Amino acid sequence: MKKALKSRYDGIVIINEQGAIESLNAVAQTLFSYALADVKGRNIELLIPGLYLTNELSQSTRPLENSYEAKIHRRDGTTIPVEVLMSETICDKGNFFVLLIRDVGERVTKRAALEYQVVYDSLTGLPNRILFYDRLHQSILTGKRLGSPFSIFIIDLDDFHAVNDNYGHYAGDWVLQQLASRLSGELRESDTVARLGGDEFAVLLPTTESVEQARQVADKLLQVLREPLELEGQMIQLSASLGIALYPAHGQDAQALIQHADLAMSTAKGSHDSQAIYQPDQARSPNNLKLKSELHQALENNELVLHYQPKVDMKSGRMVSVEALVRWQHPNYDLMSPDSFIHLAEQSGFIRPLGLWVTRTAMAQCAKWRAAGYALNVAVNLSVCNLQDEDLPDQLLDLINGCSAKAEWLELEITESAVMTDPQHALKVLHQLSGFGMKLSIDDFGTGYSSLTYLKQLPVDEIKIDKSFILNMSEENEDSVIVRATIDLAHNLGLKTVAEGVVSYKTWCLLSALGCDSAQGYYISRPLTAEQLTRWLEETGPRVDWAHF
């Protein structure tokens, strides 16, 4: 028994009924850094604060089996954590108490490390989901007690998987660490930024007073996330989608607030400002998790359809091509636009087979129009996932041949961000596609981070000016200047220009005066089914009726 005690407890302190120190063994003297002569007769409170003993001590002595942790004070003023076990002994000289003391600093350190791992993310050092929920719950209690509003954000990086695919997971981890540091640097000490998992973050702003204040902070966070990072000698740029929910307007418990912020984030996917505030009618929208699993069955169930939006040459008025736009005829919802599910396809990896299906279906339809005498091309959007696929050029060529179509009938639209994710790889793939005869177009031009160096090297045929500049160019001179500069830049590089989102005669005239080559938008036509477009061609031919303009 003595041997067992010695192995567990190193220091021994004997005190009398009044709490005065009677004896210290050598190990205890080392632990406390006091010699026996320095402390003999003094109260144990000197060494173990809070352990003040009285004559009634025996009535409150902790049983042997119930040790407890305390902090002892050393002579140099430092403290160390110890485990104290106390028992009473009675002899001729009176009642004494034996304190068995063990240094548990290593154990406390390990326990603290384990506790840290439970509530903090090991990669970024940010609070994790558990700690975020706890702080959110505390903010809700404070909000109920004081009537104070606050807001939370859910942030999801766009196309982050491309970083892992192209540079490896170690590089992806490094990028997450850099972005986590950026987010933390933009927030106050009272705010919380947490990593919920993967490339998803959450932010708690406990003193948000208005929607405008929340939007300002969101803008600031999205901006720092968009700033370029240098990775392996290349500059990469990421974007993010951010959803906002406010207490108490959008929920009065943690689960509702997080769910509603997540729904708003899904709405933000694909929006030009990349942020959205929760709207109550979003609660009735399809569940993203359920949709993600159902999307994989949509092809087998023939639930996906293509609509085609005409693109018109502005000088001749002839329809020169159509853009293929996928729709989902979900059995339980209205016809769903791409904004409702494309981001889910990207997150799940379904975007690759979806992109090939869209191209195959569009080219088969193009072949039918060509056989009927209508010289139309078909434009298809390529995601960053498709562009990073090494087999893409051969896959596209195979499916084109399988449709009895020609490569020069296919126009591939790619965004600036997709190209700039890995410019060197994109350059290689796009040269292959161009070599096959396919036409290439930069979509949403002006909304990303363009590199003129790469733009000059890319074998693109045209630039599509983003509709955010087109929609208000008749009212805002600044947008007109941007559109004019883009058209001049494209023409100087030998490229054609296409204006997206043309919705009025006035805009059409302004674009024509600026020398824009082609246009598409609701003023010309909404997206049509293949049957509707075929009927148009049969009734009026490919030339747009100028009386319409």
Whether omega for the bond prior to residue 248 falls within 30 degrees of 0, making it cis, is: yes
pLDDT at residue number 175:
93
Q: Are 327 and 268 contacting, i.e. CB atoms less than 8 angstroms apart?
A: no
Inter-axis angle of helices 288-298 and 254-268, nearest 10: 40
- What's the full length of the chain, in residues? 549
428's tokens: 């290689």
**Gap between the Cα atoms of 208 and 220, Å rounded:** 15
**Cα atoms found within 13 Å of the Cα of residue 384, Cβ hemisphere only:** 24
Paired sense of beta strands 275-277 and 518-519, if any: unpaired
Q: Going by C-beta distance under 8 Å and a sequence separation of 6 or more, which residues neighbour residue 161?
A: 346, 349, 385
By three-state DSSP, how is residue 160 classified? coil
pLDDT at residue number 53:
47
pLDDT at residue number 132:
92
**Gap between the Cα atoms of 33 and 15, Å rounded:** 18
Helix (H) or strand (E) holding 321: strand 319-328
Q: Which domains does the chain carry? A: 2-108 (3.30.450.20), 120-285 (3.30.70.270), 289-543 (3.20.20.450)
Over its length of 549 residues, how does the chain's per-residue pLDDT go in tens digits? 344 334 345 788 888 888 888 888 888 888 888 898 888 988 888 888 876 444 444 444 444 445 677 888 888 888 888 888 877 777 767 778 888 888 877 777 666 666 656 678 888 989 988 889 989 999 999 998 888 899 999 999 987 887 877 788 888 899 999 999 999 999 988 899 999 888 999 999 998 878 888 999 999 999 899 888 888 778 888 889 999 999 998 888 888 899 889 888 888 875 656 888 888 765 545 556 677 778 888 888 889 999 999 999 999 889 999 999 999 888 877 777 777 787 778 767 788 889 999 999 999 999 999 999 999 999 999 887 778 777 889 999 999 999 999 999 999 998 766 776 677 777 888 889 999 999 999 887 765 444 455 567 788 899 998 887 887 776 556 778 888 888 988 898 889 999 998 888 888 999 999 999 999 988 888 899 999 999 988 888 777 654 344
DSSP letter, residue 120: B
In whole angstroms, what separates CA 326 from the centre of its chain? 24
**Cα atoms found within 13 Å of the Cα of residue 179, Cβ hemisphere only:** 31
pLDDT at residue number 410:
95
By three-state DSSP, how is residue 218 classified? helix
By three-state DSSP, how is residue 55 classified? coil
129's tokens: 């989901």
- In 92-216, DSSP assigns E strands to 94-103, 150-157, 192-197, 200-205
478-499 burial, b if ≥16 CB within 10 A, otherwise e?
ebbebbbebbebbeeeebbbbb
- End-to-end alpha carbon distance in the chain: 102
**Gap between the Cα atoms of 214 and 420, Å rounded:** 30
Helices then strands (H, E): number in the chain?
A: 22, 21
424-463 burial, b if ≥16 CB within 10 A, otherwise e?
ebbeebbebbbeeebbbbbbbbbbbebbeeebeebebbbb
Hunting for tokens 């003391």 — which residue is that? 101
The reply to whether the predicted model has a pTM over 0.85 is: no
pLDDT at residue number 539:
83
pLDDT at residue number 102:
82
Q: Going by C-beta distance under 8 Å and a sequence separation of 6 or more, which residues neighbour residue 99?
A: 11, 12, 13, 14, 15, 44, 48, 84, 85, 86
pLDDT at residue number 247:
93
Cβ-based neighbour number of residue 79 at 10 Å: 11
Q: Are 424 and 403 contacting, i.e. CB atoms less than 8 angstroms apart?
A: no
Q: Are 533 and 319 contacting, i.e. CB atoms less than 8 angstroms apart?
A: no
Q: Are 384 and 162 contacting, i.e. CB atoms less than 8 angstroms apart?
A: yes
pLDDT at residue number 337:
78
DSSP letter, residue 24: E
**Gap between the Cα atoms of 44 and 72, Å rounded:** 10
167's tokens: 């540079």
pLDDT at residue number 264:
87
**Cα atoms found within 13 Å of the Cα of residue 235, Cβ hemisphere only:** 9
pLDDT at residue number 224:
92
pLDDT at residue number 313:
93
**Cα atoms found within 13 Å of the Cα of residue 184, Cβ hemisphere only:** 12
Helix (H) or strand (E) holding 36: helix 36-39
The beta-carbon contacts of 3-9 under 8 Å, at least 24 apart in sequence, are 5/100, 8/100, 8/102, 9/83, 9/85, 9/100, 9/101, 9/102
Helix (H) or strand (E) holding 22: strand 21-24
Closest CA to 48 of 63, 27, 62, 28: 28
**Gap between the Cα atoms of 493 and 454, Å rounded:** 12
Helix (H) or strand (E) holding 79: strand 79-91
Q: Are 431 and 440 contacting, i.e. CB atoms less than 8 angstroms apart?
A: no
